Amino acid sequence: MLEYIMLVSSDTETRGILYEILTNLGYKITTVLSYRELMEALKKEEPDYIILDPKLSDMPIELALNKIGVINDNIKIIIAPSNKNLPEFTQDILKSLREKQPEVPLQENPQEPQLKINTLLVDDEIESTESIKNYLLKKGYNVDVAFTGEEALLKIKANKPDIVLLDIRLPGMDGIIILKTIKDIDKSIVVIMTSAIEDEKVIQEALKIGADGYIVKPFNMAKLEATILSNALNKK
């Protein structure tokens, strides 16, 4: 039986990304926009976990916790930390779920290094690459770029990334050859292929070689981040 999580947040992007990551990991998810909506849902449903956004304003969080306890005191509650970026608190949430321990709230240990996902973007389209780079930098990722396969392989050998976002169509060496070379260097590097064309034959070839995912351009940035996060955190 799937473990059931209610995710309570007013931030659409956060709800969307966490929904996709947790669903991909095999959890049953219901997203809720407010504490008051949560209380109504709890009258009909019994989740195993509730992930709470402490920044919701429709009810003090202390009152929300009290009401949840009155309705069902067996539910494990995770309060998402407000002082961490999405990759960091997603890692905390996954750690708590894997340990099957309630965390109220998730505490930041100053002695633990913060999660930094090292990402390499490989694409010859300069404008779109810079746009993705700036988006990920704002989200707290470490980001580097390469505009050719040869440049990408040099950077991978010098400083191994966690994630490579690799375009299939590149000048010189194509993305499939680069993918195979990356996996020969280190199979643990996550490689997500990108292309403006959804070619099933190419997709299957890439997956057979070892690609960890395939995204068709143009990107939805939230979808892109969910793919990066779910792959990176599964490797941790």
Q: What would the pLDDT profile of 163-211 be if each residue is shown by its tens digit?
A: 999 999 998 999 999 999 999 999 999 999 998 888 888 889 999 999 9
CA distance 181 to 174: 11
100-155 pLDDT, tens digit per residue, is: 654 444 444 433 334 578 999 999 999 999 999 999 998 889 999 999 999 999 99
Which residue in 191, 185, 140 sits closest to 164, CA to CA? 191
Using a cut of 0.85, tell me whether the model's pTM lies above it.
no
Non-local (6+) Cβ contacts of 137 within 8 A are 143
Non-local (6+) Cβ contacts of 173 within 8 A are 148, 149, 150
Residue whose token pair is 């973007």: 121
Which residue in 16, 13, 32 sits closest to 24, CA to CA? 16
> Domains in the chain and their CATH numbers?
4-99 (3.40.50.2300), 118-235 (3.40.50.2300)
